[in-house]
Amino acid sequence: MGELFTFFGLISHDKSFIYTTHMLLSAGIALILVRMAMSNLQMVPRGTQNIMEAYISGVLKMGTDVMGEEKARKYVALVATIGLFVGIANLIGIVPGFEAPTAFLEMPLTLALVVFIYYNYVGIKEQGVIKYFKHFMGPVWWLYWLMFPIEIVSHFSRLVSLSFRLFGNVKGDDMFLMVILMLAPWVLPLIPFALLTFMAFLQAFIFMMLTYVYLGGAVAVDDH
């Protein structure tokens, strides 16, 4: 099976170049959308401002269901930014001539590391080092020696879960699109494109939801 054609590939076929250019393109589109939404703020939102406010409200509602509105508001900026970035990066791969940067493991793994480091930092900041890591040991004292290493491994496995879930699904979607375009390049495959668009939004939603879940678990240690 041949390589996926990209416009940036006309400049260089180097993998790092393809990844970097598409990642920067995704970031640029995200910044432009935010800039457009904030350029002329109005009491009654219209256009891009209306879309972005609806998006932020949806992200906040998602976080409220996980950790309550007060705590969700503290982290809505992080989660909404990640979701916007991932969503745009996923959607780029649906456009013929472009490749989703999330189809390269570097981007999902970097985002997973950001979430992993941040939620542990927040947990330690909110609870203190001893109190935070104490909940890794579980409620039964004579099982501390067993539960602590299991919890440590479980937390590090979240890096794999976050990164490989996003990478694997988007990479699979890219390959699916390439096959469709190879088999029927003269026909616009509307149904596959609609399905891939849905999957792009779904993967961004899952990444945001898991980020909120991990943050909620880190700041709610007292509830265990």
pLDDT for position 140 = 74
User: What pLDDT sits at residue 144?
Assistant: 79
For position 75, what pLDDT does the model report? 95
Q: Is 97 helix (H, G, I), strand (E, B) or coil?
A: strand
100 CB burial (10 A radius; 0-12, 13-18, 19+):
buried
Residue whose entry in the numeric block shows the structure tokens 């609609």: 194
Per-residue confidence (pLDDT) for residue 221, from 0 to 100? 54
Please give the backbone phi and psi of residue 128, each rounded to the nearest 5 degrees, phi first.
Answer: 90, 155
Tell me, what's the pLDDT at 167? Answer: 93
Amino acid letter, 50 = N
Q: Are 49 and 40 in contact (CB under 8 A)?
A: yes
Reported pTM: 0.88
Q: What does the pLDDT read at residue 1?
A: 45
pLDDT of residue 85: 97
Per-residue model confidence (pLDDT) at position 40:
78
Given a cut of 50, the residues of the chain with pLDDT beneath it are: 1, 223-224
Closest C-alpha to 17, from 82, 85, 101, 102: 101
Say if CB 59 and CB 79 are below 8 A apart.
yes
Q: What is the pLDDT of residue 192?
A: 77
CA gap 187, 63 in Å, rounded? 41
Position 15: which residue type? Answer: K
The predicted pLDDT at position 109 comes to 96
